[in-house]
A and B are shown apart, each in its own frame.
Chain A
């Protein structure tokens, strides 16, 4: 046997010393080689890769996050500028931002897929209930990271998060004001709110996340990897432990095929995320923060679009329920899952209810997210001064309708209502509202807004009678050339376009 050089000998000696003190080959190696059920080696094993992919994304998040923190300034006056510096001046700064965003998104996706797999394959059942419960809180941490992260962008989109967080907290009975004050660093959204969310994003939530993760991983090791489910094999807490031990007798080491699957999948996921980041680039910041953040056109990040849609679509009275009660209910249900059924069949083919729950949940989330993403409910703040009245409408207008359309702009109607598809989309497009509503109905709608304090504000107190008359002249004229106004009943060709009913009730305005 060849003699090692003295240098080599010293190194080996040092390594052995460290190994002895740290217990690597004594404790850690066996841990990595812990046996897993044999069928994990087969194709079923591919179901087990999502947890470790989440972990890979977490590493990317930590690394890119550290990089970003070196440049980002968490102050209201400089946050936005420092992001622009990253995007436009710092070499590859934009890529760092993009990767942090898409790997973060990837993490949410992986955690959700992982959870769904665990749920569908009944892996949360005895003895892994606690692993699931800790996992639920890990999911909350990941969502919390996303939520606080979007606020650090400090652009108008950040405002959505702040406003929702503020009004959620403000609804907590008794403690509401205190929580709002602590969360926002004051009673209103301002520079201090940014410091608070920076602290949450960089210290508090990551701390909690890493702590919970340690417990989660320990539980995975302690309880062992669940055996891929087979129909007919059912979990019974009284006999499970013995059966599992038996199963492991001919198990395979984790540090082997199982690990290779994990690594392959993580690598693939990483490549996908890197590609997406370099193709799509960093997200935002959008418009600069406004001094007051008022006039913003806020939109939440994608994991929260479904809540956005729910809030926008439901009547105001249930807002408190959606903001306060609903999230608690969802969390409690998730936590209770393994306690409701911790025994019995694991295979999805024998658990139709579980499959149905997953399908219904994802369909609902998908539809709401789609609605949240496509229907731009938010008003468009510059529409009243920046979106021209379509020339075709101007050209066919008479003098009253011309002035009426300036009133339409002046009263900011355009910020929520489009004409020919251009303008805000909070309310309906009014291009042919004249065919739908009569003069009286229009006056009523503008004066009183949506009945019951709905989405459209009442303008009755902010508009003079003259403005109202002229505005409604314009609205009545909004209909395709040659069509009659709404309420037109008996055609009287000689009378031009007067709708007899309207004329009878309010006035003789439409040309006679």
Chain B
């Protein structure tokens, strides 16, 4: 009987100890307090949860075009960022994030991300003036043959060494592989093609063509027109016959 009293007393003491002074390990840490998704307003968290899947941790080394790229951030207009994140890019894997388009984010959260990109990663050293403008001339597929002809010349000069004469890929290795593939190109917007040519993929070894950093002395950065001509060429490859490579989706009933 007395034993029971003692043990109950010990239990009580443990409870009291839990109450005052010493913090037991089970007490929830306020920092872990869960928030409703709409309450989250810090850029890092929003970016991590919504963008790293494609654009990579820290905005680079992801499969989608890097967002943490000083040239990109120097030229991309604020309105464009807001628009892409809100509405996504039709026909490409860039999804719409706005709630009204069944995305996961509130308008103000999209704004936080759009503004945060520049706030976090933009470099003050680069000035927009010396770089070609971001926006592509031909947003849609309509490209003239004159452009594609001009494009072929620029391609031979600037791109063929890595991507092959006709974009069929180099014979040497696996990378960078074929870029004249209609299936591939149909999943990339003209806007992104232009942007990739301007910025390159510095994370993956494709240089920027709008800058002469690290290039030989006589190197001429591509002009805005040359870039559009290249985009026109790549866009025209979308209409090539598919080299028998197209899958037939034999969906069973």
Contact = CB atoms under 8 A, between A and B. Distances in A.
A59 to B, nearest CB: 12
B53 A409 contact: yes
A395 B56 CA distance: 12
B20 to A, nearest CB: 10
B183 A465 contact: yes
A448 interface: yes
A466 B187 contact: yes
B19 A92 contact: yes
Contacts of A388: 52-53, 56-57, 61-62
B15 A274 contact: yes
A94 interface: yes
Contacts of A461: 251
Interface size class of B (residues with CB under 8 A): 35 or more
Contact of A290 (B37, B93, B95): B37
Interface stretch (B1-9, B70-78, B122-130): B1-9
Contact of A387 (B11, B52, B61, B64): B52
Contacts, number: 214
B156 interface: no
9 closest cross-chain pairs (CB), A and B:
A398-B177, A281-B26, A410-B93, A460-B251, A267-B7, A278-B24, A263-B4, A507-B245, A466-B183
Contacts of B160: none
Interface in A216-263: 260, 263
Contact of A472 (B8, B93, B169, B247): B247
B174 A447 contact: no
Contact of A399 (B54, B61, B178): B178
Given A87-B28, A447-B250, 13 more contacts: A274-B11, A282-B26, A288-B34, A290-B37, A385-B54, A385-B104, A386-B49, A387-B52, A398-B169, A403-B184, A470-B184, A470-B187, A507-B246
Interface of A: 84, 87-88, 91-92, 94-95, 98, 260, 263-264, 267-268, 270-271, 274-275, 277-282, 285-288, 290, 382-389, 391, 394-407, 409-410, 414, 443-444, 447-448, 458, 460-461, 463, 465-470, 472, 496-497, 506-509, 511
Interface of B: 1, 3-4, 7-8, 10-11, 14-15, 18-19, 24-28, 30, 33-37, 48-54, 56-57, 61-64, 93-95, 104, 169, 174-179, 181-184, 186-188, 204, 243-252
B50 A511 contact: no
Q: Is the interface of B mostly helix, strand, loop or mixed?
A: loop
Contacts of A401: 63, 177
A269 to B, nearest CB: 10
A465 B104 CA distance: 27
21 contacts: A92-B18, A271-B14, A278-B25, A279-B25, A281-B26, A281-B27, A288-B34, A288-B35, A385-B54, A386-B52, A388-B57, A389-B63, A396-B174, A403-B188, A407-B187, A466-B187, A468-B247, A469-B183, A469-B246, A507-B247, A509-B245
